């Protein structure tokens, strides 16, 4: 069974949110890829909310 994770990305303000945000774009990835993706955003200066 594949598990998917979702986050909202606000590229202008460099924010990653695990709850819907109006200025964010929803991203859904398989759990096996999701955390590497989020860590990559953090390395690029994104903040987690």
- The per-residue DSSP string of 1-49 comes to ---EEEEEEETTTTEEESS--TT-EEEEEEHHHHHHHHHHHHHTTPEE-
Q: Which pLDDT value is given to residue 2?
A: 73
Pick from 27, 28, 24: nearest CA to 12? 24
The total number of structural domains in the chain stands at 1
Confidence of residue 1 (pLDDT cuts 50, 70, 90): low
Q: Domain limits at 22?
A: 4-48
Q: Which pLDDT value is given to residue 11?
A: 96
């Amino acid at each position: 069974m594949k598990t998917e994770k979702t986050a909202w990305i606000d590229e202008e303000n460099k924010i990653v949110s695990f709850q819907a945000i109006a200025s964010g774009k929803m991203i859904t990835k398989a759990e096996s890829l999701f955390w590497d993706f989020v860590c990559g955003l953090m390395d690029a200066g994104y903040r987690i909310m």
